[in-house]
Homo-oligomer: A and B are copies of this chain.
Amino acid sequence: MKDCKTSINQHRLRVKKLLKEKNADGCLIYSSVNKYYLSGLIFKGFIYIHKYRDPVFFVQRETSLEETHVFQIKKPEEIPAILESLNYPDINFLFMEKGQMPYNDCVRLKNIFKPEKTGDATELLRIARMIKTEWEIEQFRISAAKHAEVYDMIPSVFHKGMRDIDFQIEIERLMRQNGSIGLFRTHGDMEIFMGSLLTGNNASTPSPYNFALGGAGIHNSLPIGSNGEIIDSTKTVMVDFAGNFTAYMTDMTRVYTTGEPGDEAGKAHKLSVEMHKRLMSEVKPGVSCSSVWRWSKKMAEEAGFGENFMGRKFKAKFVGHGTGLEINEPPILMERSGDVFQPGMVFAYEPKFVFDGVGAAGIENTYIVTESGVEKLTVFEEDIIKIP
């Protein structure tokens, strides 16, 4: 069943199951991504999920929600009386979005519900969201198809003498014309606008954010991505945009060039493609996410590209990550990850190499973990793409 409603019911069941496992009473959800996950909509207000009962929606503005229990409220202080009127059990152990809700808001909820114990709904929901439903996978397929369509059009918007930022802007427009919702949702303290495009030395420039690569950006207030470098034929152009054509984002990177970026980048790029082949042949349910980091790093080092792998001045400590409503979801493919691949996970794998003066090489694809292996979602040309 690939419809949205069925999927949302599955999400709720998953959250309820996790709440039962924790012996919690329920969770109170406020963040946009988790409200979307549990209702298919974004509205102003809260969702209360009790471990055994129907969800209750507390709405602070007009909404088109069609649910059994929808209540208009002005402030969260009104919630307990409403739950009592529905004969919902007292809340002794409440999960709140402690990993994303501001301290003040969590304290306010604690004062309202006075639970004996609280748990972290951020973590709980991230675990629930990690395994995707059929409908969610369908959303990724829609995003992936559009993502590939746009990447195929990228050479058509290049013209000679462009700066990286000019090229980036044209790609942004292509993305939007093809249905990108624009907003790039991340978890934690990461900021980015639509995606990143890196060429030349800027690919070696570290950024304060936890993305695989950096870039100086065009302004001190957003130090990531394009910085105004002129694109020339001795450089690579790495394009890494969020495929946010649905709420479920694919992540895909490809490398373009207008000339000959040199043997080293070419070799490293081929190695990245090889790594993706190995991933497809080795990853299946039960395999550890850390193993992928280990053999990826080893392959890079054995090929003599250890110094270029995952950055130069600053190196990313992961080679892949789950993706979904936010670009950085579990699992994480890194040395110290305790995650194991499970059917229904959707993740991006991005072995990348950076060469001073040239730019970055390598590709990123988004994969689904199936019952027996992985399936590539972002099917598109993987060699370095020549811009005529």
What is the interface of chain A, defined by CB distance below 8 A to chain B? 30-32, 36, 40-44, 61-63, 96, 98-107, 120, 122, 166, 169-170, 172-173, 176-177, 179, 181-183, 189, 191-194, 206, 208-210, 217-223, 246-247, 313-314, 325
Contact = CB atoms under 8 A, between A and B. Distances in A.
A126 to B, nearest CB: 13
B40 A220 contact: yes
B120 A221 contact: no
Q: Which 7 A-B pairs have the closest CB atoms?
A: A182-B193, A221-B247, A103-B106, A98-B103, A44-B208, A169-B176, A183-B193
B103 A183 contact: no
Contacts of A40: 220
A12 B289 CA distance: 45
Given A177-B169, A314-B61, A208 B42 contact: yes
B99 A32 contact: no
Nearest to A109: B103
- A166, A220, A313 — most chain B CB neighbours (10 Å): A220
B42 A314 contact: no
Nearest to A33: B221
Given A102-B101, A102-B103, A222 B43 contact: no
A223 B216 CA distance: 32
A169 B169 CA distance: 11
A41 B216 CA distance: 11
Contacts of A218: 179, 181
A42 B170 CA distance: 26
Contacts of A106: 103
B221 A181 contact: yes
Contacts of A62: 206, 313-314
Contacts of A172: 172-173, 176, 182
Nearest to A169: B176
A222 B181 contact: yes
A222 B169 contact: no
A100 B103 CA distance: 7
Contact of A220 (B42, B122, B177): B42
B104 A102 contact: no
Given A43-B208, A104-B120, A189 B32 contact: yes
A331 to B, nearest CB: 20
A101 B63 CA distance: 28
Contacts of A98: 102-104, 107
Contacts of A179: 218
Nearest to A205: B62
A367 B96 CA distance: 40
Contacts of A193: 181-183
Contact of A182 (B61, B63, B222): B222
Contacts of A103: 96, 98-99, 101-103, 105-107
A135 to B, nearest CB: 13
Contact of A183 (B96, B120, B206, B222): B222
Contacts of A210: 44
Contact of A219 (B170, B181, B189, B206): B181
A319 to B, nearest CB: 18
Contacts of A208: 42-44, 61, 63
A170 B174 CA distance: 11
Contacts of A222: 42, 181-183
